[in-house]
């Protein structure tokens, strides 16, 4: 008995233990609490720079939706973010840390641009379908490369995908300054603006990317929740050894999933070039690939939550640019507010996974 009393004495006052399953309802409540805490913290920040938090927050929310113009702007920001965040999801569910959405978006854009530039004599519908597939193939291949080396040699995928982002970025630079340079533009080198035939149609005043995004939400949700392949992804994510023991071909699953992940990000690139910019510029991804990762993670890799979080983030971004014109505060404040929200949700996530145990009095 003496040894036991010794061990209780040494037991720390607070211990942390892992929770078993937690209900979806509780997760949502905790996330909302985190969001509330973040809004309060953001408010304190706004107060500290000498502004009224209530005024600023209402301006941001109203600014994003005040007119049909503003609403369209918000949705335009949301489209690539939504699609890219959906793209990240299968990879992250497999615990394959794909930081390369940025590069996969770019490659999707490059592949789609090729057909927009050199095949714009094709019928409109056919051309867009080809561009869509090209975007998927471009992004997919860019996702497949790190997956191949990961399965073959165990190459670190976080660092690999990170590098591929920059290689893709400078590939755009190469095409802009070299083979695809618009001979008609005399000043800064750029790629010619797409002809009408190669532009994505608009539905309700915003390019059809939003419809593609919504369809993808549903498709991905079904794919991950109800199909055999979706199940395989979550088993590999949970434990590679379990998957292997169950007779799954882990290498094949990783490569397939990364192709899908990259392909979806490639779609985001395709919609950006053909729907928003009508050309391929160096800012085609513009950091969306990185923000998408945080969006996907905050949404607990659930496609339906991703839709909600994307709208929240786009609202912040659009609202802050409106706030800039009314209050004269830099729209960079959206980065700070996004950061604060993310920090709080990342921190609060702790309570969904762990709980405290206090030392029992004897």
Partner 1 sequence: MIINFLFAAIKAGTPLLFGTTGEIMTEKSGNLNLGVEGMMFMGAFMGFFVGFHTGSLPLALLAAFIIGNFAALIYAFLTVTMMANQNVTGLTLTIFGIGFAKFFGEIMIRKAGGSPKLSPEFMITISEKPIPVLGEIPVIGKLIFSHNPLVYLSVLVAVICSIYIMKTRAGLNMRAVGENPAAADAAGIKVTRIKYLHIMLGGGICGLGGAYLSLINGGGVWNNSSVVNGQGWISVALVIFASWSPMKAIFGSLVFGAFSVLQFYAPKDIIHIPNAFYVMLPFLITTFVLIFASMRKSKTGSQPAGCGINYFREER
Residue numbers at the binding site for partner 1 (CB under 8 A)? 15-18, 49, 97, 99, 149, 153-156, 158-160, 162-167, 170-171, 173-174, 177-178, 290-291, 293-294, 297, 328-330, 332-340, 342-343, 346-347, 349-350, 353-354
Using the minimum distance from each CB to partner 1, give the nearer residue, 87 or 275: 87
Nearer to partner 1, 65 or 149 (CB): 149
- Cβ of residue 160: shortest distance to partner 1, in angstroms? 6
Give the whole-angstrom CA distance, residue 61 versus residue 49. Answer: 20
Q: How far apart are CA 346 and CA 316, in angstroms?
A: 18
CB nearer to partner 1: pick between 117 and 212: 117
Q: Give least dist CB 179 to partner 1, A.
A: 9
Asked if residue 166 lies in contact with residue 275, where contact means CB atoms within 8 angstroms, the answer is no
CB of 151 to partner 1, least distance (A): 11
Smaller CB distance to partner 1: residue 88 or 131? 88
- Those residues whose C-beta lies under 8 Å from the C-beta of residue 1, and which sit 6 or more positions away, are none
Report the nearest approach of partner 1 to the CB of residue 178 (Å). Answer: 5
CA dihedral 150, 152, 153, 158 (to 10 degrees): -10
Least separation, in Å, of the C-beta of 192 and partner 1?
Answer: 18
CB of 131 to partner 1, least distance (A): 23
The conformational region for residue 286 under phi > 0 = left, psi -120 to 50 = alpha, else beta, is: left
Long-range CB contacts (within 8 A, 24+) of 62-69: 62/319, 62/322, 63/318, 63/319, 63/320, 63/321, 63/322, 63/323, 63/326, 64/314, 64/315, 64/316, 64/318, 64/319, 64/322, 65/315, 66/322, 68/205
- Give whichever of 259 and 344 is closer to partner 1, judged by the CB atom: 344
Q: Of 72 and 181, which has the nearer Cβ to partner 1?
A: 181
């Amino acid at each position: 008995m003496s040894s036991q009393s010794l061990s209780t004495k040494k037991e720390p006052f607070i211990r942390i233990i892992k929770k078993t399953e937690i209900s979806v309802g509780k997760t949502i409540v905790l996330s909302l609490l985190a969001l509330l805490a973040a809004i309060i913290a953001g408010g304190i920040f706004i107060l500290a720079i000498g502004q009224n938090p209530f005024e600023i927050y209402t301006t941001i929310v109203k600014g994003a939706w005040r007119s049909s113009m503003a609403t369209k702007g918000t949705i335009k920001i949301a489209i690539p973010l939504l699609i890219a965040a959906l793209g990240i999801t299968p990879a992250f569910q497999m615990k394959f840390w794909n930081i390369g959405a940025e590069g996969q978006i770019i490659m999707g854009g490059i592949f789609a641009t090729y057909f927009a530039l050199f095949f714009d004599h094709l019928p409109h519908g056919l051309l867009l379908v080809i561009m869509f597939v090209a975007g998927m193939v471009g992004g997919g291949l860019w996702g497949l490369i790190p997956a191949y080396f990961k399965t073959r040699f165990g190459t670190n995928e976080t660092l690999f995908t990170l590098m591929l982002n920059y290689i893709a970025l400078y590939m755009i630079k190469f095409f802009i300054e070299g083979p695809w340079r618009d001979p008609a533009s005399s000043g800064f080198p750029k790629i010619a603006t797409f002809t009408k035939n190669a532009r994505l149609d608009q539905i309700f005043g915003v390019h059809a990317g939003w419809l593609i995004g919504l369809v993808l939400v549903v498709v991905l949700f079904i794919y991950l929740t109800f199909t055999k392949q979706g199940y395989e992804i979550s088993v590999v994510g949970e434990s590679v050894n379990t998957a292997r023991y169950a007779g799954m071909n882990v290498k094949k699953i990783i490569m397939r999933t990364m192709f899908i992940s990259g392909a979806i990000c490639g779609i985001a690139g395709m919609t950006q070039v053909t729907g928003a910019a009508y050309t391929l510029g160096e800012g085609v991804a513009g950091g969306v690939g990185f923000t998408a990762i945080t969006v996907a993670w905050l949404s607990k890799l659930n496609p339906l939550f991703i839709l909600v979080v994307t709208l929240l983030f786009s609202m912040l971004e659009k609202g802050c640019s409106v706030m800039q014109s009314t209050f004269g505060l830099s729209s960079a404040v959206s980065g700070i507010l996004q950061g604060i929200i993310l920090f709080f949700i990342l921190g609060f996530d702790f309570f969904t996974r762990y709980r405290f145990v206090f030392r029992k009095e004897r």
